[in-house]
Amino acid sequence: MTERNVENKLYVGVNYHPHDWPASRWETDILLMREAGFTTVRLGHLCWDCFEPENGRFTFVWFDGVMDLFAQAGIGVVLDLSVHPAPVWVHRECPGCTLYGKSGTPAPAVRRYMEDVLDPDYQRYALRFAHTLAKRYASHPALFAFGLCNEQGAGYLNHSPWAKARFQAWLKEKYHSVDMLNAAWATQRWSRRVNAFDEIELPENEVEKGSPEAWMDMRRFFSDGIAQFLRKLKETVEAAAPGIPHTSNHYSGHDGLGFDYLKYRHDFVDYPGMGFYPDYAVNEKTHYALTVLQERRAEFDKPLWCIEFISGLNGQYAGPKGSLRMLAFLSILYGAQMILGWTWRTMLHGEEQFFYGLLDHAGMPTPAFEEYREIARDCRKLSAYGFPRRVSPQIAVAFQQENQWIGQYHPHQFRQPYSAAIICAQRALFEENRDYNMVHLGDMEKEYKLLIVPDCAILTEGAAREIRYFVEAGGHVWMTGYSAMLKEDIGAFDSPRPGMLDDVFGLRVAGFTRAGDLDEGGYPLPSGTTIQGKNSQVTVDIQYREHLVLTTASSLAVFPDGSCAVAVNGYGKGKAWYLAPEANADLLRWLLEETKDILGLYPQPVFPAGIQGRIIGENRLFVLNTTNQPITVPLPTLCEGALSGTKYENEIFLTPYDGELLLFTVAEGESFLQFWRP
């Protein structure tokens, strides 16, 4: 591949594992990929020891042949730097990378991702391998880009003596003195005071967790280490192969380990990437996958690469016909540029033995293969009409990784998981066909009209300052219940909530009620609650609501008992809205309708339920049926389908999961939007 301007087309392909198959099969597979119209393939992941079977002994000749075959086929290679998982010999050479369980017992690497990537000896071998691999193939004609390893962030917290020593050093650098650490961790509670850094244990064992302050510092320690390793990996690749693009499908949101991606995104990201694994239908799992996509895309001006994309599921041979194509279109509407199916051929061995791919165990095409052929064909056509799509939304949704961690520590308080709160915002904006960016509070980079802050329990001084300035300058902020409870040190605010922002929102939170608990009047809070606004009402299923005492704010909507459900306060040139319930998709969607004249968001067509629609450049509209039922979409004027070549006048009939790019015919200087009939 000699092309280096990678932003002007869409790429479709697959993940391929040549080390799993005999060399006699490679040409057959590559011919099938070429016949399917694939432009791109991902190679090299999960097989470090195929390149370096022993310490310092490299074997690249076999892979040279693979790269040459793809170059001859005209298929570009995303070459993954497969330093995760580590080979068995690395564990033997680096005892510090071996995981220890919570009891302090060694846990041999019997499965993938069982190494501590923070270990400096492991990193020395990993970076040596990455440099050697990148340098060897930097000028190969098949090379398209590099991948910074596979699923960094997946794995386990390590409780080894080496990890403990590194944690102690990290704490010493952060707090400087034991007195400062004791104050930050509130060690006077239950006699947990320490007298030296080397007395500190990792604050979790097989019996219990330590204090929330100490436990959160442990999560931050591992997060910092993973991010720093990814930065080193990026620097290694860029030094060995300057000018070559790179990406990564890291696993920052992994519950067991993970790291704070948005905090460190600029340290290692070139093209944002991910593994996209929704369900075959638009449900909670799919909405979660879309929130991950939005987090990875963040505020980057580059498109996103799905270097892994659903082709099959574990234990499910194929999805409904057309569903993979629908999901591909959906990801493209959200700003994706690359779709690489996981995986090419269903594996004969290993933990993903029944995770079905484009070919079955016998190497024969599955229904997914035919759909990927269609996806490749459609993407060739879409590339001529403004794809990959550049997204410039007016709405931002705040995502703070540490809220996920504090929810794990305090599940009795934060009973709605933080990921569910983010999904609520995603669902509301999805159903309203509104684009948004995921942002990291404290360092937003772009301008927005609306900032949604769902269930943001931890509020740093930087985040509070940014929200204050945003509203003061004329922006609108929506903050939900559960928010601004804790300071950055994980101590609760000793000032009125929302902490540091009670004057911006013009109120204080004076307690809360949960479904099933008794409120102050002695009545249980029903899960189906009607909230009455000035113009309409909405019934929401909520499990938690806060009691708001208004100071300068006014009530926009009330609960059946007359108490405030949504408050709004003018501050500077903007407005701050506080929602008493936890994040709720129906409430957020209703509020979008109630406040549309105030927010000043751009006008857009109104579509039937189940239709996703996005304006693509001048007088172009993409419509997508995300359901398993046919839907008719009314049209305002003449248009033609770029994918089908069909002409439409008053409507388009979309079969289940079908999509079309509509090219409208209007007079010069006019827009199809002015003729739209909702």
Same domain, residue pair 269 and 405? no
- Other beta carbons within 10 angstroms of residue 416's beta carbon come to 22
188 in a domain, yes or no? no
CB 216 within 8 A of CB 487: no
| Per-residue tokens: 603 | 């006008």
Q: How many Cα atoms within 13 Å fall on the side-chain side of residue 156?
A: 20
Q: What is the pLDDT of residue 297?
A: 97
136-166 residue pLDDT tens: 999 999 999 999 989 999 999 999 999 999 9
Same domain, residue pair 617 and 583? no
Start-end of H helices in 261-400:
261-268, 284-297, 323-333, 367-382
Q: What is the pLDDT of residue 677?
A: 59
Q: What CA dihedral angle connects 636, 642, 645 and 646, to 10 degrees? A: -20
Same domain, residue pair 590 and 667? no
Q: What CA dihedral angle connects 590, 473, 582 and 610, to 10 degrees? A: 40
196 in a domain, yes or no? no
The neighbouring-strand residues paired with 79 are 43, 146
Collapsing DSSP to helix, strand or coil, 313 comes out as strand
Same domain, residue pair 593 and 559? yes
CB 583 within 8 A of CB 455: yes
Q: Which residues of 15-36 are buried (b: 16+ CB within 10 A; e: fewer)?
A: bbbbebbeeeebeebbebbeeb
Nearest partner of 129 among 31, 22, 11, 47, judged by Cα: 47
451 in a domain, yes or no? yes
**Cα–Cα dist 346/353, whole Å:** 7
CATH number at residue 632: 2.60.40.1180
Which phi and psi angles does 597 have, rounded to 5°?
A: -75, -25
604 in a domain, yes or no? no
Q: What phi-psi label fits residue 318: left (phi over 0), alpha (psi between -120 and 50 degrees) or beta?
A: beta
| DSSP 8-class letter at 602 | P
Residue type, 150: N
| DSSP 8-class letter at 525 | B
Same domain, residue pair 316 and 461? no
**Cα–Cα dist 557/564, whole Å:** 6
Nearest partner of 400 among 427, 418, 425, 426, judged by Cα: 418
Between vectors from CA 108 to CA 104 and to CA 110, what angle results, nearest 5°?
140
**Cα–Cα dist 219/230, whole Å:** 17
CB 397 within 8 A of CB 294: yes
| DSSP 8-class letter at 657 | T
pTM: 0.96
| DSSP 8-class letter at 543 | S
**Cα–Cα dist 41/79, whole Å:** 8
- Domain boundary pick from 382, 404, 424: 382
24-75 residue pLDDT tens: 999 999 999 999 999 999 999 999 999 999 999 999 999 999 999 999 999 9
Q: What is the pLDDT of residue 618?
A: 86
Domain membership of residue 340 as a residue range:
11-155+214-382
182 in a domain, yes or no? no
Which phi and psi angles does 354 have, rounded to 5°?
A: -120, 35
Pairing of strands 651-654, 476-480: unpaired
CB 669 within 8 A of CB 630: no
CATH number at residue 344: 3.20.20.80
Same domain, residue pair 514 and 622? no
Same domain, residue pair 425 and 545? yes
| DSSP 8-class letter at 57 | B
Same domain, residue pair 226 and 364? yes
**Cα–Cα dist 488/402, whole Å:** 10
DSSP string computed for 228-280: HHHHHHHHHHHHHSTT--EEEE--TT-SSS---HHHHHHHH-SS-EEEE---S
101 in a domain, yes or no? yes
Q: How many structural domains compose the chain? A: 3
CB 531 within 8 A of CB 537: yes
DSSP string computed for 71-119: HHHT-EEEEE---SSPPHHHHHH-GGGBEE-TTS-EE---STT-B-TT-
| Per-residue tokens: 387 | 């794809």
Q: What phi-psi label fits residue 506: left (phi over 0), alpha (psi between -120 and 50 degrees) or beta?
A: left
Same domain, residue pair 540 and 426? yes
- Domain boundary pick from 349, 382, 415: 382
**Cα–Cα dist 484/454, whole Å:** 10
The neighbouring-strand residues paired with 603 are none
Q: What is the pLDDT of residue 654?
A: 98
CATH number at residue 497: 3.40.50.880
CB 622 within 8 A of CB 607: no
- Domain boundary pick from 572, 599, 626: 599
| Per-residue tokens: 672 | 């199809």
110-143 residue pLDDT tens: 999 999 999 999 999 999 999 999 999 999 999 9
543 in a domain, yes or no? yes
512 in a domain, yes or no? yes
Q: Which residues of the chain have pLDDT under 70?
A: 1-5, 516-527, 677-678
CB 543 within 8 A of CB 522: no
Collapsing DSSP to helix, strand or coil, 551 comes out as coil
Same domain, residue pair 378 and 412? no
Same domain, residue pair 241 and 356? yes
| DSSP 8-class letter at 492 | B
- Other beta carbons within 10 angstroms of residue 159's beta carbon come to 23
Same domain, residue pair 91 and 218? yes
